[in-house]
Amino acid sequence: MRRKQPSELIATGIAGIDLNNTLVTGQKIPFFADPDQPYNQVLADVALRAEADKIILGGMGLSNDDYLYFKNVFTNAGALDKIICFINTTEDPPVERLLVPDMSLAAAEYFADDKKQKVLVLLTDMTLYADALAIVSNKMDQIPSKDSMPGSLYSDLAKIYEKAVQFPHGGSITIIAVTTLNEGDITHAIPDNTGYITEGQLFLRRDTDIGKVIVDPFRSLSRLKQIVIGKKTRADHPQVMNTLVRLFSDAANAKTKQENGFDLTEYDQRCISFARDYSMKLLAIDINIKVQEMLDTGWQLFSKYFKKHEVGIKEDFIKKYWKD
């Protein structure tokens, strides 16, 4: 089947994704998260908010609590007619986890190709999938590779992620997968190989200033976002996105100065106040708004904390969107 260059926006309603790391239909991207972070809640939110015709959830090694959470959330939202689940829990044999991605993506291919639908596949947790691969390969007396993983790990992951596709007839398969980290270690074989295959990554971290989990704007990246931002979204999107992250970086530098006992300038103090507001109103994972509202919120934050010349945005956009 011939593939097409991905070109359609897939909105999730989560500002940390849609504003800073916009996803495109046919993209493959992982969430990198520590085991104690609410990544399954984020996936459930994405399933309910995403603008897709069909959502397919592949759960591998889910705890009973997480399984019941997904089931209750989808049932209460009345969304079971568009969601298909393939679930393997901790009580099920690990070898069954190896079937879940294949079954999920076989169903996705049916709806994307035969039915020409926009399909979003959510896979959690790919680390437990890789652990199951290691168990099977060890039983087969295969010589382990890095971090006790099988030597075929790259190919095993690639055959899953490479199912992401934009068909010429309009159907598509977009894959968002969770890869849990061991104490934030991205050099482990599982996230390391995942990063080579996928088109970016989304990092979750807890922001101590607001006490909420955010999508980290520094460590997250969507390599295909340039295809749609400013084209399928409002023209000011790229400049607003870049300026917000730059000012958030200035705030991080100001916090470092503060922690090391240096005096803060008036600009530093404004940046720190801006960063707290930015995290609360745009980066927190519980924010559910449209892309246009995200951009308007960005302009409100600019005018609240900065002067026009400090944001460094084109004059045409300043005249059109600046909130006095």
pLDDT in tens, 70-89: 999 999 988 888 999 999 99
> For residue 119, is it within any domain?
yes
Is residue 323's pLDDT more than 80? no
Q: What is the CATH number of the domain that holds 129?
A: 3.40.50.12240
> For residue 221, is it within any domain?
no
* 211 CB burial (10 A radius; 0-12, 13-18, 19+): exposed
Task: Give pLDDT, residue 141.
Answer: 83
Enumerate the β-bridge partners of residue 60: 88
Last residue of a domain, one of 198, 226, 245: 198
Q: What is the pTM of this model?
A: 0.91
- Percent of the chain scoring above 70 in pLDDT: 100
Is residue 301's pLDDT more than 90? yes
Task: Give pLDDT, residue 22.
Answer: 93
pLDDT in tens, 101-128: 999 999 999 999 999 999 999 999 899 9
> For residue 308, is it within any domain?
yes
> For residue 315, is it within any domain?
yes
Could you tell me if 193 and 243 lie in one domain?
Answer: no
Could you tell me if 161 and 299 lie in one domain?
Answer: no
Task: Give pLDDT, residue 295.
Answer: 95
> For residue 11, is it within any domain?
no
Could you tell me if 183 and 281 lie in one domain?
Answer: no
Last residue of a domain, one of 177, 198, 219: 198
What is the Cα 93 distance to its own chain's centre?
Answer: 28
| Length in residues, the chain | 324
Could you tell me if 183 and 268 lie in one domain?
Answer: no
- What is the extent of the structural domain holding 269? 237-321
Up-side HSE of residue 124: CA atoms within 13 Å toward CB?
A: 27
pLDDT in tens, 171-184: 999 999 999 998 88
Q: Report the mean per-residue pLDDT for the chain.
A: 92
Q: Which of 3, 133, 121 is nearest to 58 (CA)?
A: 121
Number of structural domains the chain divides into: 2
> For residue 59, is it within any domain?
yes
Task: Give pLDDT, residue 5.
Answer: 87
3-state secondary structure of 205: strand
Could you tell me if 141 and 70 lie in one domain?
Answer: yes
Could you tell me if 159 and 241 lie in one domain?
Answer: no
